[in-house]
């Protein structure tokens, strides 16, 4: 294989019934990076993201061909435990979706379920996760309050803390800031930059300026095809493909 | 394909037209300054100053437009490179305008005294500079890299002409030191024209960057 990468896809193709949402995507993603995927609605970028932790499988009629390797192991192999996979490759969604529980319980839920910690170790793990999500100082005095008492931006950071608590390797973020105000958005982006030191972050976004700000590499999807992939500094100043140029300059969208 | 950002495209188009108008004024200033010298026309010298004021006004206006486009439209790729190139191009055009004024000032002084030699090299240099500038503006409008590169290559001609002028004037000074002051004034005009050619070369490099995304020196 000869690839020193965190995730590698080989002819990854996803179909919903007869509709081919993703066409033979070949890509290598390195660890400890922020990688952004952009493209117009329906281009396949979210389908691609979901394929990286087999979330597509919960959609009726979805079929996946090709391969996805995480640290060299095929995640679609029959012996792979999907629950364990989704712990390693966690996802944050567009709308924050905290559990209808306390702030503490939201973060403790996963580690408790996976048997990662209990008692005082669990409390410490919750604190560490909330600190890593840059939320601890804001919630440390109200851990027993409902997660819904938090603002949208805080809820999103709580969802990130919830992910971090189960010790993932990869964070998938599907338009994580589109429901947030600008200040909350900037905070999440700051958090991403912090988290990049220890995790691989893959983000799908409609916000090109965000992709340009936070990511080291950007991929452009169109009609299920990965049209271009490269350093963000190049993609946004001198894209190689005319279709990328037309999209990012707003000639179509 | 009609873009969905029509207002932005129109503003970008308008910006480029302003650059061409500004460049046209600079070309006019160059030609007027050399005519003022050759024809010993003091009024024409004054006209160069007026043209230069217009160039300065364009400079400020275009810079403001560029900043607004950056802030309000968040341009990417080719659009971003165009605006970045325009920022630099207007600086080069503005400097060409300044040098025209410098030539006009020397022309005003020289108009009052008999010249010790006929003006041959200077008008030739000016003709080349003028042609380089016109071709660069054409290249900017048409995004014609070959034309931009051809203009850049003429810089060498101007450099050689300047060195010839320099050597000739030094000879004159050595033969007759009383000609020193006038010779220096003529040499300064040569310097201004040589610097103008350098600025036109910079414009060529920015056009190259606009089109290719590559920043590189096109001349030695």
DSSP secondary-structure letter at A15? E
Domain-located, residue A36:
yes
CB A226 within 8 Å of CB A220? yes
Contacts of B11 in chain A (CB under 8 A): none
Domain-located, residue A234:
yes
Core vs surface per residue B167-203: b (16+ CB within 10 A) or e: ebbeebbeeeeebeebbebbbebbbbbbbbbbbbbbb
Q: What is the number of structural domains in chain B?
A: 1
In chain B, pLDDT over 90 holds for what percent of residues?
91
Decide if pLDDT at B204 tops 90.
yes
Domain-located, residue B132:
yes
Q: What is the number of structural domains in chain A?
A: 1
Domain-located, residue B218:
no
pLDDT confidence of residue B1: 47
**Residue A32, by phi and psi: left (phi above 0), alpha (psi -120 to 50) or beta?**
left
Min Cα–Cα distance to chain A from B182, Å: 50
CB B44 within 8 Å of CB B35? yes
Mean pLDDT of B32-39: 96
Domain extent at residue A80 = 7-97+170-248
- A and B: number of Cβ contacts within 8 A: 43
> Please, which residues 179-238 of chain A have a Cβ atom closer than 8 Å to chain B?
208-209, 212, 236-238
Domain-located, residue A74:
yes
- Name the closest residue on chain A to residue B213, using Cα atoms: A238
Domain extent at residue B69 = 6-212
> Which one, of B54, B161, B47, B181, lies nearest residue B105 by Cα?
B47
Burial label, A14 (beta-carbon count in 10 A; 0-12, 13-18, 19+)? buried
Domain-located, residue B135:
yes
Residue labelled with tokens 């002409």:
B161
Contacts of A246 in chain B (CB under 8 A): 1
Interface predicted TM-score (ipTM) of this complex, two decimals? 0.74
Find residue A170's DSSP bridge partners: A89, A200
DSSP B128-171: HHHHHHHHHHHHHHHT-HHHHHHHHHTHHHHHHHHHHHHHHHHH
CATH number at residue A214: 3.40.50.300
Mean pLDDT of B177-204: 97
CA distance A240 to A9: 22
Q: Verify whether the Cβ–Cβ distance A238 to B8 is below 8 Å.
A: no
Domain-located, residue A42:
yes
CA distance A154 to A142: 13
pLDDT confidence of residue A1: 47
CA angle B117, B120, B125 (to 5 degrees): 135
- Name the closest residue on chain A to residue B77, using Cα atoms: A237
Among positive and negative, which fits the CA dihedral A221, A226, A228, A231?
A: positive
CA distance A163 to B5: 39
pLDDT confidence of residue B5: 80
CA distance B175 to B137: 43
- Name the closest residue on chain A to residue B215, using Cα atoms: A238
Contacts of A239 in chain B (CB under 8 A): 77
The tens digit of pLDDT for each residue in B92-113 reads 999 999 999 999 999 999 999 9
The tens digit of pLDDT for each residue in A55-66 reads 999 888 999 999
Min Cα–Cα distance to chain A from B92, Å: 23
Min Cα–Cα distance to chain A from B61, Å: 24
Regions of chain A where pLDDT drops below 70: 1-4, 253
All residues at 6 or more sequence positions from A133 whose CB lies less than 8 Å from its CB, including other chains:
A157, A158, A160, A161, A164, A191
CATH number at residue B143: 1.20.58.220
């Amino acid at each position: 294989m000869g690839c020193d990468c965190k995730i590698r896809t080989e002819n990854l193709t996803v179909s919903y019934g007869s509709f081919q949402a993703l066409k033979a995507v070949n890509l290598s993603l390195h660890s400890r990076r922020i990688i952004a995927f952009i493209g117009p609605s329906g281009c396949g970028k979210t389908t691609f993201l979901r394929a990286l932790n087999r979330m597509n499988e919960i959609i009726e009629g979805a079929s996946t061909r090709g391969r996805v390797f995480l640290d060299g192991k095929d995640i679609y192999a029959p012996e792979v435990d999907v629950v364990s996979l989704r712990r390693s490759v966690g996802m944050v969604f567009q709308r924050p979706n905290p559990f209808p529980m306390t702030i503490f319980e939201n973060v403790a839920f996963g580690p408790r379920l996976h048997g990662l910690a209990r008692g005082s170790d669990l409390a410490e793990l919750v604190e560490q996760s909330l600190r890593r999500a840059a939320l601890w100082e804001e919630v440390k005095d109200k851990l027993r309050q409902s997660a819904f008492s938090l603002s949208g931006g805080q809820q999103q950071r709580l969802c990130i803390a919830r992910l971090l608590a189960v010790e993932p390797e990869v964070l998938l973020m599907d338009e994580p800031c589109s429901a947030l105000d600008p200040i909350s958005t900037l905070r999440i982006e700051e958090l991403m930059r912090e988290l990049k030191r220890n995790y691989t972050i893959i983000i799908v976004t409609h916000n090109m300026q965000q992709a340009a700000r936070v990511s080291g590499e950007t991929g452009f999807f169109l009609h299920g095809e990965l049209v271009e992939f490269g350093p963000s500094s190049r993609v946004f100043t001198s894209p190689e493909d005319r279709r990328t140029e037309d999209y990012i300059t707003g000639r179509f969208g | 394909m009609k873009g969905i950002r029509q207002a932005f495209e129109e503003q970008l188009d308008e910006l480029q037209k302003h650059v061409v108008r500004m460049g046209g004024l600079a070309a006019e200033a160059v030609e007027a300054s050399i005519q003022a010298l050759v024809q010993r026309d003091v009024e024409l010298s004054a006209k160069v100053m007026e043209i230069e004021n217009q160039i300065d006004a364009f400079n400020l206006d275009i810079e403001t437009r560029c900043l607004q486009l950056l802030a309000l439209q968040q341009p990417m790729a080719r659009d971003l490179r165009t605006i970045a190139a325009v920022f630099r191009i207007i600086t080069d055009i503005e400097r060409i305008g300044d040098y025209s004024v410098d030539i006009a000032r020397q022309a005003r002084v020289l108009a009052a005294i008999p010249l010790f030699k006929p003006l041959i090299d200077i008008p030739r240099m000016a003709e080349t500079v003028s042609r380089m500038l016109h071709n660069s503006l054409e290249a900017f409008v048409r995004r014609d890299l070959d034309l931009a590169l051809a203009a850049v290559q003429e810089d060498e001609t101007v450099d050689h002409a300047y060195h010839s002028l320099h050597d000739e004037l030094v000879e004159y000074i050595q033969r007759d030191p009383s000609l020193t002051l006038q010779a220096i004034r003529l040499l300064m005009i040569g310097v201004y024209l040589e610097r103008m050619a350098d600025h036109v070369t910079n414009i060529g490099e920015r056009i190259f960057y606009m089109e290719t995304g590559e920043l590189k020196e096109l001349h030695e």
